[in-house]
Structure 1
Amino acid sequence: DLATGSSIIAIGSPGGLENTVTSGIVSATGRRFLQMGDAIQVDVPLNPGNSGGPLLNSAGQLVGIVFAGIEQFEGVNFAVPINWINTILPSLYNEGESIHSWLGVAVQEIDEGLEVVYTVPGEPADRAGIRAGDILDTLNNNHYSRVVDFQAALLELEFPSLVTMTWLREESRTSGVLSLAARPFSPIEIALERDSRDNILVPLFGMRIEKVGTFFWKTNYIIKKILKGSIAEETGLSANDPLNVEGWKVDIDNRFVVLRLFVKKKKSGFLESVIQLAAYLETDTFL
């Protein structure tokens, strides 16, 4: 396993200069910004032409494949870890599209495990009766407390597959056999097609709202829950803040959503303000 500070080497063809070797260190591991899995952050100098090239440790072992960098920041680059490559690559050699299995839920990591925060209508979890607030206990008798580990377990299953699951709701444990579905390219887009936008605020921005009435043709809401570490929390929103949804913009081409709110923040003494929240369509919390 790579540790922060470990020496690494990248090989690529920046600017068409083949077999160029650059070196650096691992800046961080477990970065979560892909729909599935995680990434290694490295400070090794990378340029166009490095993407798809190998990332090696000091012993010359392949530890990842370089795939991206942030142009505005020097030395902030990323690689896909080798364990994800080993899991996914074999399926790419089969005929047709590579299909991954999924449950159709978005979750958050809490002390008790993986809490369901949203279920996609019509998908396996929804059909099995799993709902927001449930804690996913086991998948095929194995317990997972991290999103990335649960995603890895699903990737190892062939499609189609039947799985046994248990989940917790208050003081009771429920078990069932689920037939996994094919994971869509964009879970959020499927949710937008099938569900109300009020409900999709949870996986997108990390807040659950509830309608409390209508005044002058405007629907009034109150925030019922804010997910820890979410966009809503970082914006300073909190439970019991009253708000109105002023507008939505879903940009499929550029892969983002913008939400405009008129809100009275409790943390600001209920002063009225208009805020905009933005989120990428590629969220990393779906299983």
Structure 2
Amino acid sequence: MDKRRVQNIVLILIGILLLVYGSCTSSPPSEPASPVWELRLQELRNMVERDPQRAIYLLGAVRYQYNLSQEDLDEVSALSEKAIQGLQQALMTAFQEERWQEALSYYRSLSEIKRLPKDFPEIVILSLKKARAELAKGKNLEAFLTLVTILDQSEGNTSIPTEEIEPFFTKALEEKRRSLARYLYSWMESKGKGPVISKEEKASLFLPESPPEMIQGVATVIVDRGIRFEKGRGVPEWVVGSAFFIDPSGLLVTNYHVIESEVDPSYKGYSRLYIRLGDASTPRIPARVVGYDYFLDLAVIKAEVTPSYVFSILPAKDPVVGDRVYAIGSPAGLEKTVTSGIISSTSRRLLQIGTVYQLDAAINHGNSGGPVVDEKGNLLGVVFAGIEQFEGINFMIPLRWLRYALPAMLQGGMAERPWLGFSVEESREGLRLQYLFPASSGRDYRFTEDTMIRHISTADLSGAENRIGRTQEILYERQPGELIRVEDIKGESYILQLSKRPKTPFLEALEKDIKERVIAPLFGFNLEYIGQELFVKRYTVKRVVRGSVADEMGLTPQDSLAIHGLEVDKENKVAYLDVTVKKKKMGYLESSMRIPVYLETTDTL
């Protein structure tokens, strides 16, 4: 090929390139959309119509998951607005159709994103409508619980007409709920419009509750588990506890662990539930479980009997250390026993959720599920545990947690509780994320361990005491599926969706996640992988959570640690970590340890 011909070909190619370049610069083509994003976008479009609440949460999260063009961002914003309008319409429809529970749930979600419909009634009025509807349907206990919660949370609110309260007062008198009637009378009188009753009726109303009266409202719970064979001999197996009436229809409150065999699907043996109103000579009355709250160790049972006394679930002033209290129950099956003591602590964290009171009143097997009252006869809580080896160390569930738990239990079955899927630790700035559970909505927003949370909903967690307990209380009154605002220490705000809380979160996490990731929050230390010796991975301890199992075992930062195995006892909900440790403070001498931990920790939200 001659030189001139080669030059011509090169010139032609340069011309073609210039044309292509010119066309590209004058009209740049848009980058082709990712097939994954297109599929996701179509799914979100469908969800806006089907489930606007979830769509709002997911549309907020996609901004953190994809590198979106301005065109995509505009569509996401438009879909978000459409989902919000859909949720507003769902609220209006539920309100018009008097589906009050749904309406309240939608109301809370829209409050979190600050998009309530204009001129929509306050939540107090919405809740009051719910209470009136329950009263009209004969659901008196549910109505009283709703009303009491309204009055407790709306102290100082003048938008509640006293005439709206009077029908509840009248019904409380009819059902001989003297404590409740007294509370409602005092509330109306404080507003200057007390109900008209005679002097004799008022005097009777304000008589203090007497121990003989209250004892009549307490029953012995018996769970007959048939015959257990030991060394060839049949031994009757019974569980004995206590319960107290909360409604004239025969509803009682007790502990979940007392009636567990009645509802636990893993229990395959014989189980029959009874109550007894008197001593051993009185007949056993068949009962059934209505609903239960696994997380708070509470249950509602029902027997076809009309009690002569009913305990009222009222707002109670939190007791202080040193206050005298009385426990009523059936210790060792000895019916209607009253013991006294004092409040020893008001902030023990023993259950997965919430705090409990410690008291020194004599508590024994059979007291579980019985009421604890103050010197005026006001219900303060429910007995649930004691430490056998130590006399005078016993515990009760505070009344406010019972009040939160009852509405869901009365609906029947296991009460579903919401959560964020966080394991946290307290710090001065707020709550530090230790671990995100596999199904946590925080994962969609790219939350990481060590993210510092300062606000959840309207609660400021910086500088507060008992931050975990306070946050659990905020979440507990809500429902799975609701939206909630979470703000980090940088002031960045996120809208997350609450999901259904698993019975034992860490047990589920160990089945679904990498064990090394779960070990850190479960045992309370952060590890850094440094290498492998033969078949064993070795780590350096970077941080130890104060008060954790690792802290109690004497581990400190810069200790060297090798993990040899993790054993999980599902039945007893305990995990055992087998390690060899070279502790810095012991000159890095190696020692073997087996570290146990209870899987039902108290630091999950």
Shorter chain as normaliser: what TM range? over 0.9
Q: Which has the higher contact order (CA 8 A, sep 6+)?
A: 1
Q: Letter of the aligned partner of 1:6 in structure 2?
A: D
From 84, 97, 101, the counterpart of 2:418: 101
- Once the two structures are superposed, the pairs formed by residues 247-258 of structure 1 within 5 Å of their partners are 247-258=565-576
Aligned ranges 1:66-81 → 2 under 5 Å? 66-81=383-398
User: 2:504, 2:445 → 1: CA distance?
Assistant: 22
Structure 1 letter corresponding to 2:393: V
Map of 1:4-15 to 2, 5 A cutoff? 4-15=321-332
Q: Distance in 2 between matches of 1:89 and 1:36?
A: 15
Q: Do the aligned residues in 2 keep the contact of 1:222 with 1:240 (CA within 8 Å)?
A: yes
2: CA distance, partners of 1:100 / 1:125:
18
1:208 corresponding residue in structure 2: 526
Where does 1:211-222 land on structure 2 (aligned, <5 Å)?
211-222=529-540
Residue aligning to 1:132: 449
Question: What is the deviation of 1:95?
Answer: 3.6
Aligned 8 A contact 1:236 1:267 in 2: no
Shift of 1:99: 0.9
The alignment partner of 1:34 has SS state of coil
Contact 1:207/1:232 (8 A) holds in 2: yes
Q: In the alignment, what sits opposite 1:16? A: 333
Give the drift of 1:96.
4.0
Among 462, 481, 484, the residue aligned to 1:160:
481
| One of 403, 420, 437 as aligned partner of 1:120 | 437
CA RMSD in angstroms comes to 1.3
In the alignment, the residues of structure 2 paired with residue 158 and residue 77 of structure 1 have an alpha-carbon distance, to the nearest angstrom, of 31
Matched, 1:194 2:512: yes
Shift of 1:176: 1.3
SS in 1 for 2:400: helix
Q: 1:246·1:261 contact (CA, 8 Å) conserved in 2?
A: yes
SS in 2 for 1:149: helix
Q: How far is the alpha carbon of 1:244 from its aligned partner?
A: 0.7
Does the aligned pair in 1 maintain the 2:419–2:480 contact within 8 Å?
A: no
Q: Is residue 88 from structure 1 mapped to residue 409 from structure 2 by the alignment? A: no
Contact 1:258 1:278 in 2 (8 A): yes
Alignment match, 2:595: 277
Is the CA contact (8 Å cut-off) linking 2:525 and 2:541 kept in structure 1? Answer: yes
Contiguous gaps of at least 5 residues in structure 1: none
1:119: how far off? Answer: 0.8
- Give the strand-richer structure, 1 or 2: 1
Whole-Å separation in 1 of the counterparts to 2:537 and 2:458: 45
Q: 1:266 deviation in Å?
A: 0.6
Does 2:472 match 1:151?
Answer: yes
Report the equivalent of 1:235.
Answer: 553
State the secondary structure of the residue aligned to 2:516.
helix
- Normalising by structure 1, we get a TM-score of 0.95
- Cα distance in 2 between the residues matched to 1:190 and 1:248: 15
3-state SS in 2 of match to 1:118: strand
CA contact (8 A) 1:100 1:159 kept: yes
State the distance in 1 between where 2:342 and 2:375 align: 10
In the alignment, what sits opposite 2:501?
A: 183
Give per-residue Cα distances to partners, 1:187-222, cap 9 Å, x unaligned: 101211221111112221101112111122221111
Larger % of helix: which?
2
Equivalent position SS for 2:327: strand
SS at match of 1:173: coil
Deviation at 1:32, TM superposition (A): 0.8
Distance across 1 between alignment mates of 2:551 and 2:533 = 27
In the aligned structure 2, how far is the partner of 1:102 from the partner of 1:258? 26
1:109 match: secondary structure: strand
**1:2 aligned to 2:323?**
no
User: What fraction of aligned residue pairs are identical, expressed as a percent?
Assistant: 39
1:233-285 deviation line (CA, Å, top 9, x unaligned): 12111111111112211000111111111110011111111112110011000
1:3-59 CA-partner distances (Å, limit 9, x unpaired) = 111111001122333221110111111111210011111110112221111101122
The answer for the alignment partner of 2:354 in structure 1 is 37
Unaligned 5+ residue runs, structure 2? Answer: 1-317
- Residue type at the aligned position of 1:152: E
How many Å separate the matches in 2 of 1:49 and 1:220? 49
| SS across alignment from 2:521 | helix
Distance 2:535 2:331 in 1: 58
How far apart are 1:140 and its partner, in Å?
2.1
**Retained in 1: the 8 A contact 2:479–2:498?**
no
Alpha-carbon separation, structure 1, partners of 2:412 and 2:424: 32
State the Cα deviation string for residues 118-158 of structure 1 (Å, max 9, x = none). Answer: 11123112222222111112222322341000001000112
CA distance in 2, matches of 1:57, 1:66: 13
Where does residue 368 of structure 2 map in the other structure?
A: 51
> What is the letter of the counterpart of residue 283 of structure 1?
T
Question: 1:95 & 1:22 partners in 2: Cα distance?
Answer: 32
The equivalent of 2:271 in structure 1 is none
Residues matched between the structures, number: 284
Partner Cα separation in structure 2 for residue 225 and residue 2 of structure 1: 37
